[in-house]
Each structure stands twice: as structure tokens, then as C-alpha cells.
A and B are shown apart, each in its own frame.
Chain A
Amino acid sequence: MSKKAAFATPDGPIVYKKRSRLMETWNSLKTNPGAVFGLIVVALYILMMLLSFVLYTREDVVAINGKEMFLRPSAQHWFGTDEKGRDVFTRIMYGSRYSLAVGFGAVGIGLIIGVIIGAISGYFGGAVDILIMRFCDVLSAIPGTLLCMVLVAALGPGLINLLVSIGVTSIAGYIRLARASVLATRGNEYVEAARAIGMSEVRIALTQVLPNSLSPLIVATSGNIASCILSAAGLSFLGFGVPVPLPEWGALVSGGRTYMLKAPWMTTFPGIFIMVITFACALLGDGLRDALDPRLKK
């Protein structure tokens, strides 16, 4: 019997069917054009990154070619060439690994650590909560970029350290958000109902409260992917990011800045790539939030 039939008829089949949350989320996501667009774009970006591993070597993107400087976009160089005669398209393709790694990696670090600490803070309260909130206050009192630079300087240069630094810098925001969300969810009576059947606090926190507190975090996360990519760009520009000849997208934008009038393609194309992934992540995040909330399902 198909699942549709089991739900459609008013007095009809009453077969118990485990409703798969994953399938229902997917079904709901499918019907949201924005989310589908976002998903396709993210998939294309990942595909691009994978392809770049196969197609190009490090040599291809750092080698200087004095004869082909500042060429306009053409059939041969789709996105033109830069001040050292390197193909911009190739550099963008190759650079996707850095930008995506920083975007997703930093957000992952911030999200996981932030949610764990924030949930503890919101759920258990008391002295722990106060301590954690003061820690957040301190963390957010320091300007983000400065904190990042300090961390990179302390950890040393390199992609992983960059990613960790950006992630850590965003933790305070996640903690606050997770805490607020958990606090709101914790007050629901179903939490007390779980207590009344004998569930332990930890179990309640994990099985009842946390799953119902995630929506705002998902939205924030999707927005943050973009801002992490931008942070990485800024840091690269200041010399704290990925080492110079490597084509991290932010570095491409800031590197081309000097030739804005002479060769606008040098900044425009990487800029568009950053913008599109930002937009796609936001759409996907919105769609995911709706799809994950059973109350919003049709």
C-alpha cells in the first residue's frame, strides 16, 4: 500500500507506518524552488572543487606568464587573465577548495562547539550559565577580525589554522543563539512530560529539547558560511590567510582591486562566485528550516 493512500482516506487504512523524517524533509525540500536552486548551486560548487583536483596542478595556477597579462575574457581565457598572465577561470576553479573549506569548516567548528556550550548553558543554567555568558561577553568584546588575526598569529599561517581561527571567532554568536533557543524550548510542557516518565535531564536535553531548538541555528549557519568566506578573504588580504600565490577567492578579489579599472574581470568573477554561493546557502538554509519543522509541512 502506498503511503499516500494511507493518509488520504478519512476512515481508510490505519496501518501504522513509521514516518521517515529524512524522507519527509527531502519531500518538503523538493517542493521549495529556492531550496532546490540552493542545493544545485552548492552541489555544482562541490563538483567544481572535485574537478579542480583532477584538472589542475599547483603549477597551473601559480606559474607566471609574462606574455599574456591582462587579457580580456575570450574563448581561450573565459574569465580573462591577471597581472601575471594567469588564467582567472583556472584560478577560481582551483581556489574553490580553500574558500569552500574555510566556509564550511569554520562554520562547522563554530556550530558544533557553540551548540554544545550554548545548549549546556541554556538547559542547565545556574553558575555554569553565568560563567559561559561572561566568556561570550569577553569574546564578543574583541572585534572579530582582530581576534582572528591574533589567533592566526598564535597558531601560525595555513589553511587549517585559518579555518580554526574563523570558527572560534564565531563561537560566541552560536552560543548565544543556541542558549536562547534552548531556553525557549525548555519551557514547553512536553519537557515536563518527559521528566514525568522518568527521563534523565541529559536525555531530555538531547532527545526533546535540542531537536526542537535547531531551526534558528540552521538559518544562522547558512548565513555564516558566506561571512566566513568573506572573513577568510579579508584575512588573506591582510596577509594572515592562505599564502599569497594560492588563489583563495578572497585573495583574488583583493589582489585584483588594484587593477579595478584596467582589468575589472579580475575582481568581478571571483566576486560573483562568492556572491552566488552566499545566496545559495541562504536559500538552502531557509528551505531546510521549513522542511525540518513538521509544523510547516503541508
Chain B
Amino acid sequence: MADNIIEVKNLKKYFKTPHGTVHAVDDVSFNIERGKTLGVVGESGCGKSTLGRNIIRLQDPTAGQVIYDGQDITDLSNQQMKRMRHDLQIIFQDPYSSLNPRKTVMEIISEPILFNKLMKGSSKQDVEKRVRELMDTVGLAQRLINSYPHELDGGRRQRIGIARALSLNPKFIVCDEPVSALDVSIQAQVLNLLKDLQKEMGLTYMFITHDLSVVNYFSDDILVMYLGMVVEKAPAEVLFKNPIHPYTKALLSAILVPKVNGNPDHISLRGEVTSPINPPDECRFTRRCDYICDTCKAGTPPLIEIEPNHFVACHCVKPEGITLQRTVGV
């Protein structure tokens, strides 16, 4: 039996809007093994952040279950959830809006500790010492302890965000595009930091990104999302070697180095993302799929295991054989 720290079962999150119901996350199930990283990729608006926020209960799921460490946390009250929150933290995408501009580094990093009375009975100096330790851990110079976030650059700000998340000694961290807003040179530093922290502290990550090269470097398993649904899930190396779902293929071919005379295998993503508002009961990729066939409109395709640990949701992919044939743009 795998040691799953997070189990997500049929999770749904719908938003009611004046234009209809947004199916931001629609019937998503997966597990994350302790100490591993699950990469979540997909285009903007496919529900990655919403998924992450619902798992750690920053939002309340519409339906489904989230099980943390064997305990169902879906229906815990805020009070019961409070203790759980120490274990479940999040690192945000935008290092500008994720830090309160009115608080100094010391105040930001110590706030979770003081608020949760983690160091009850210890002196102010002890709390300060702990903050300094955390600053060391994330590679922030201690002289910055009195600074306001706006006095620092994006990379340093992101380190503050990481230190804040670590201050409660979490077990599981949702990294919501933690490097997308940073310069390329700084991205690598922050990614390495996150990787080192994982090794040292045995953290489990859910790593959200739209950048497949980042996710390859980082993840054990990869979940590909499209319009609120999982379309493919596989161990990272399998997914990169043998992508099966048409959407995954398109995503991957987008990061291949283009050849001078045009890449004959290149599949580009056509059209726009279909809206996740009141989606019809058919494969959500139909309008953009190059492989579309008769069965595609016959309901939402289920996620099936076509080889061990490799799941795909496409009507044209069956465990007994892949019948995918390119029908458009050949």
C-alpha cells in the first residue's frame, strides 16, 4: 500500500456566477504519496489554483472528499481545521500581493507562529531566533529582518513567502506557480531551494505550473488538467516519453525545440479555451482536438488506466489498444 498523505476523491468546486455555473474543478481524484511531488499542469483558467485551494480548505469544496493523513478533512469546522492548517500550507504565485505591505519581514514570518501560539511561553527573543533560523533556511540575509516587502526584489519576497509557509512546520505545501512571476535566473534558485527543503524536511508538494519544463524538473507524478478535469496522469518520465492524451501531446510539442523547416510532428493548440461555464456532457477538448472522432461527444470520457499508473481520459484510448488517429490538420 502506498503511503498517501493526500487523497482526493471526486472533488468538485463550482462557482455560481451571473453567467452560469463555473465548473472550476470537476470530479477530480488522485493521491499524493508522502514525500513526493505531484505536478499539476494546464492552461490558465483550467482550475489548478482552485484545486490547490480546495485541498487545503481555503475554499470549501462543492462535493467530494479530501483526506489528509487518513482523516477526512472535507467537513471539518473552522475550529477543527485550525490545527490541521499547521500541516497544510501554500506558497503563492505573486510575490507582491502575497505579502502584506504594512508588515516587516519579522512580522510576516512570525505572524503564523504568534497567532497559533506555537511558541507559547517562550520569550520574544526565542521567537526572533526562530524567525532568523527560518530566514537562514530560505536563504534570506538576516539584515533584512526589519525590511518591508516593497524594499526587496521578487526573489527575496518569494523567499519570505516560503519562510512564512515553513514557520508552522507543515507537511504538505501547495506551491501555486511559485516561480512564474520571477526572472529566469532567479527561478532556478527558488526551485533549487524548494527541492532542498523537500529533501531536508520530508515535505510533500503539490506543484502547480503552466511551465512543463519546470514540472519535469520537479515532479514525481504529473497531472494534466483541462477545463477543471484531469485528462492525463502519469509518472513524470512516462508522461514526457509517452504522452497519450491529445491535449498533453499538444502541450508537450509546444515546448519541443522547433526545427528550422518546421517540425512535422508539431501539434499546435488551436482555438480558444472553451469556457468552463455550464460545460456540455461531452469530452471538453472536442472543439480543439486534432483526433476528434464519432465517440467524442458521447459523454465525458472517464479516466482509465491504460498501463500501470498511467491514466488517460479520452474516448479513443482504450486499455486494449490505442485507436487515436489524427483527423484534423494532417
B102 within 8 A of A: yes
Q: Cβ of A208 and Cβ of B100 under 8 Å apart?
A: yes
Shortest Cβ distance from A176 into chain B, in angstroms? 21
Q: Does A244 contact B (CB under 8 A)?
A: no
* Cβ < 8 Å to B, chain A residues 192-218: 192-200, 208, 211-212
| Chain A, residue nearest B174 (CB) | A196
**Residues of chain B from 53 to 103 with CB closer than 8 A to chain A in the complex:** 53, 56, 58, 78, 81-82, 85, 88-90, 92-94, 97-102
Given contacts A11-B143, A14-B143, A212-B101, contact A192 B90 (CB under 8 A): yes
What would be 23 A-B contacts, judged by CB atoms less than 8 Å apart? A13-B143, A16-B128, A17-B146, A187-B97, A188-B97, A190-B97, A190-B98, A190-B100, A192-B90, A192-B92, A193-B98, A197-B111, A197-B115, A198-B85, A198-B115, A212-B100, A212-B101, A294-B102, A294-B148, A294-B150, A295-B101, A295-B148, A295-B150
- Which A residues are CB-close (under 8 A) to B104? 19
A70-104 CB contacts (< 8 Å) to partner B: none
Chain A: minimal CB distance from B71 (Å): 17
> In the bound complex, how far is the Cα of B56 from the Cα of A194, in angstroms?
13
User: A residues near B, CB below 8 A?
Assistant: 6-7, 10-14, 16-17, 19, 21, 187-190, 192-200, 208, 211-212, 293-295, 297
Q: Check B274 for interface membership: any CB of A closer than 8 A.
A: no
User: Is B164 positioned at the interface, with any CB of A under 8 Å from its CB?
Assistant: yes
Could you tell me if B90 and A198 are in contact, using CB atoms closer than 8 angstroms? no
Question: Which residue from chain B places its CB closest to the CB of A211 in the assembled complex?
Answer: B102
A199 CA to B58 CA, complexed, in Å: 11
Q: Which residues of A contact B115 (CB under 8 A)?
A: 197-199
Q: A297 vs B92: C-alpha distance in the bound complex, in angstroms?
A: 26
Per-residue A-contact encoding for B121-141, CB less than 8 Å = 1, 0 else? 000000010000000000001
Measured between alpha carbons, how far is A197 from B164 in the docked complex, in Å? 9
B92 x A193 contact (CB < 8 A)? yes
**Closest A-chain residue to B167, C-beta based?**
A197
Chain B residues positioned under 8 Å from A196 (CB to CB): 56, 58, 85, 88-90
Interface residues on B, range: 35 or more
Residues of A within 8 A of B263 (CB): none
State A11–B97 Cα separation when bound (angstroms).
Answer: 28
Instruction: Tell me the bound Cα distance from A266 to B10 in angstroms.
Output: 79
Given contacts A198-B115, A211-B102, A294-B102, contact A14 B145 (CB under 8 A): yes
Partner-A contacts on B (CB < 8 A):
53, 56, 58, 78, 81-82, 85, 88-90, 92-94, 97-102, 104, 106, 111-112, 115-116, 128, 141-143, 145-146, 148, 150, 161, 164, 168
Residues of B contacting A16 in the complex (Cβ-Cβ under 8 angstroms): 106, 128, 145-146
* B93 proximity list for chain A (CB < 8 A): 189
Which residues on the A side are within 8 Å of B53 (C-beta)?
192
Given contacts A11-B143, A193-B92, A196-B89, 10 further A-B contacts (CB under 8 A): A10-B143, A11-B141, A19-B146, A187-B97, A188-B97, A197-B112, A197-B116, A198-B78, A199-B115, A295-B148
Residues in chain B near residue A293, CB distance under 8 A: 101
Whole-angstrom distance between the Cβ of B78 and the nearest chain A Cβ: 7
Determine whether the beta carbon of B102 is less than 8 Å from that of A189.
no
Docked Cα-Cα span, A198 to B112, in Å, equals 8
Question: Which chain B residues lie closer than 8 Å to A19 at the CB level?
Answer: 104, 146
7 smallest CB-CB distances across A and B, nearest first, come from: A189-B98, A198-B82, A197-B112, A189-B92, A14-B143, A188-B97, A198-B85
In the docked arrangement, what's the CA distance between A188 and B93, Å? 11
B-side contacts of A7, CB under 8 Å: 146
For the complex formed, measure the closest distance between the CB of A129 and the CB atoms of chain B, giving whole angstroms.
14
A194 to B97 alpha-carbon distance, docked (Å) = 12
Taking CB as reference atom, which chain A residue is nearest B144? A14
Of all chain B residues, the one with the shortest Cβ separation from A9 is: B143
Tell me if A198 and B97 are in contact (CB < 8 A).
no
CA A199 to CA B56, docked complex, whole Å: 14
By beta carbon, the residue of chain A nearest B125 is A16
Report the Cα distance A11→B112, complex, angstroms: 28
A17–B105 Cα gap in the complex (Å)?
11
Please indicate the chain A residues that have their CB under 8 angstroms from the CB of B168 in the complex. Answer: 197
Which B residues touch A10, using CB under 8 A?
A: 143
CA distance A297 to B151 in the complex (A): 9
Partner of A200, one of B78, B92, B98, B111: B78
Residue of B nearest to A294 (CB): B148
Interchain CA distance A208-B115 in the complex, whole Å: 13
Out of B92, B102, B142, name the residue touching A14 (CB < 8 Å): B142
Are A6 and B102 touching (Cβ within 8 A)?
A: no
A13-B141 Cα distance, complex, nearest whole Å: 12
List, in ascending order, chain B residues with CB within 8 A of A188's CB: 97-98
Chain A residue numbers with a CB within 8 Å of B161 are 193
Residues of A within 8 Å of B90, CB to CB, are 192-193, 196
Which residues from B are CB-within-8-Å of A190? 97-100
A212 to B53, CA, bound (A): 23
Shortest distance from the beta carbon of A250 to any chain B beta carbon, whole Å: 39
Contact residues in A for B97 (Cβ distance below 8 Å): 187-190
